[in-house]
Chains A and B, each alone.
Chain A
Amino acid sequence: MGPPAPPLHLANSLASPMHLETSLSQLQDLPRNVGHAIRFESARLTQAAGILLRLPQEVIAQAIVILQRFWTGPDGGNPLEQDAKDAAAAAMYISAKPSGTPVSAKQILTVFAYLASLRGDYAKAQPANNDSQTAELHFTQGQYEVARDRLYKVESEILRVLGFQTHVALPYTLCVNYLQTLEVFQSIGGSKVAKRAIAHLNSALLSPQLLYLTHQPSALATAAIYLAAREVDVKLPEVEWWEVFDVDREELGFLVVGLTSLEGFASECKQAFSHQVIQMTAEDLRLEMEQQELVQEAA
């Protein structure tokens, strides 16, 4: 007898080894660090857009996981052919559409156009509050129609590449449930642990190790709690409590390292691209790379 079928609402489809061998970062014509950077940047863009659209974090997280799936595997999207910002917008559209908080094509396009104008500095993003800003972002009917058709097209391309596997089980509620099980909320710093754990789960969405595509939500939640409790210095049982949540020591260790390394990766990314913007359209990306080749040849 094989392993049991997964509880569908708690489990995710995971990337196969084949997927991971032939992902974005291994594409021949794309340097590895650029591939990582584009993944990271497009996920960040999606998170920023979701916040501006006032979407629940579940919907945003689902969009990012859908986007990460799209960038993965031999048939996955290639940012040299597919504008990364369009892929992010379409992933957001797919995620929000069947949820309790759908958004219109126009809302999505407007927000992504605004964010593109910030050139990567999403911390500056503010909900539009003055007229000059909104006027700048106003599409003409023609521009809007072109952008909308492209959104629909990328949407169906993502659905095709994913084989319509848009279901994403998320670790957030499991995390709270596990914290309750461990009676963490009853200790001083309990809610601090919870906040840190949730923050780790949000950061993990941006992980270059694709933690959400390689590990089930139960493992992510467990690792986030483990790490958060150590950071806040709240004691957890001195037994292998993670096994209660069906996570073994090896997986836990791997995930904790993965979560911890994220900050380093992010600042490295920021530094490497400090003098330039990570190109989010296929055309700009191609131009950029041609230029770099020229520079390298000259040197």
Chain B
Amino acid sequence: MPSRWADTEEDAAEEAQRKAEKKRIKAEKAQKAEKARLAAAQARANKPSNDREDDSDRPAKRRRVSEEDDGGQDERTEGAAERKLLRWEVPTWSPCRSASLFERLNHIEEGSYGYVSRARSKDTGEVVALKKLKLEPFRDGGFAVTALREIQCLNASKHRHIVDLREIVTSRAGGQGSGGIGDVYLVMEFIEHDLKTLLEDMPEPFMPSEVKTLLLQLGSAVEYLHDHWILHRDLKTSNILMNNRGEIKLADFGMARSVGDPAPKDLTQLVVTLWYRSPELLLGTKIYDGAVDLWSLGCIFGELLLKDALLPGKNEVDQLSKMFELCGIPTEDSWPGFKRLPNARTLRLPPPGKAQTGSIVRSKFPTLTNAGAALLNSLLSLDPTKRPTAKEMLSHPYFTEDPRPKPTAMFPTFPSKAGQEKRRRQDSPDAPARGDAPRLQGDLDFSSIFKGRETEEKGGGFQLKVG
């Protein structure tokens, strides 16, 4: 087959004829259009120029565009002026500025990946959050890959519900042999609260309308990340910041990385803080996707309602047992193929029919509407393929039924701990440290986890052994 765009002689002849015909029609049309445009211009000239309601010149313009479409080549000279090419604001790069341009005000928090403090820019007076990275070139093989990914992911994520990374500054330790750039600080917008501290200090949990607003904001941030092929991998309430206008911003991308399709082969299972870690990660899956973030969202949803962590496991095994207690024991029906996951081989589950395989989310949250419980249940599906995507979550009926999401401007304000005083040390576990994912330890008997749930059921628990 010749090229689609190749010309033969017949083609050329035909083309010429068609062109001549078109030209004639075009000329007629152009004449008409010109008349219309003149008339429009006349009309416009007679009107005050700021009269935006009356777009009397619009029709003529539109007609010209459509003519150009069926017009082909000979109209080009006239059309050229009309065509607008997409142009972007072009960013550039410049070396890191010095950290001495910022004056430290107070310490906010220390996490596994760095110390955060509140600081003021000496140039602009603006208050920012400074996150000092913990760098140990020997341990990390140069500049830590997690820090590199955090910076790359934050740079690639510009969204109203994701914390804004302004720049990176360094305290360049001078002289040779000092090993490079000294300390590295991420300069980010300062946000007054984190959801974890806020929940601890609030006398009452958030109202249903407020929970919806928070979840919608969070969902939109996660949707944005997943759309851009980024997994956050450490969603939890202490990583969600909230300002005094009821807006939340996702922070701490220390675990984030960009992925592709198919997923990269070197994904680690040791991600997400234990309480928010999904069952497939606990069972040692080598390949996972955005569904791990959706599980975390489910845990956060529950925590917003309860004002307390939904699944506060003491260790990996306890985490699994808490999960199964709430969501039911997985079966080949509810989660096809889960038994083939590396850590599932050592999992001894009660025989089918003897234990609870259904979820008790409905009864645990009696005040939640049916739609709300359905959403929570789907986010907490043990089978990752049954969890909704962030986009699907956002269009869930829960968000459109009453009570409607509360406008952020109507949110109550709270005194900021980060802004004023030293913060208490968090008692939630940290994100997992680098290294090999541990196998599930111990030989634990889970038979007691269903006590009080199915009183008629005796024994029939399950055991976990490390093989």
Contact = CB atoms under 8 A, between A and B. Distances in A.
Interface string A148-163: 0101110111011111
B96 A163 contact: yes
Interface residues of A, number: 60
Interface in A147-180: 149, 151-153, 155-157, 159-167
B156 A167 contact: yes
A152 B179 contact: yes
Interface string A201-218: 000000000000000100
Interface in B262-277: 264-266
Interface string A75-117: 1000000000000000001100111111011000000000000
A245 to B, nearest CB: 9
A246 B86 contact: yes
A4 B88 contact: yes
Interface in B302-356: none
Contacts of A247: 85
Given A98-B257, A102-B145, A102-B266, A3 B89 contact: yes
B253 to A, nearest CB: 12
A164 B4 contact: no
B6 interface: yes
B87 to A, nearest CB: 5
Given A13-B92, A161-B95, A105 B148 contact: no
A8 interface: yes
Contacts of A6: 88-91
B448 interface: no
A264 interface: no
The interface residues of chain B, by DSSP majority, are classed as: loop
Interface stretch (B23-31, B115-123, B136-144): B136-144
A188 interface: yes
Interface stretch (B164-172, B293-301, B404-412): B164-172
Contacts of B83: 243
Contacts of B76: 239-240
A187 B4 contact: yes
Contact of B96 (A2, A155, A164): A164
Nearest to B86: A246
Contact of A100 (B87, B95, B158, B260): B260
A165 B93 contact: yes
A236 interface: yes
Given A163-B96, A235-B3, A97 B90 contact: no
Interface in A186-226: 186-189, 216
9 contacts: A3-B88, A9-B228, A98-B258, A100-B260, A104-B141, A155-B142, A156-B179, A160-B172, A238-B73
Given A11-B88, A105-B142, 15 more contacts: A6-B89, A6-B91, A9-B156, A75-B94, A104-B141, A152-B137, A152-B180, A161-B95, A162-B95, A166-B148, A166-B152, A188-B3, A216-B88, A239-B72, A247-B85
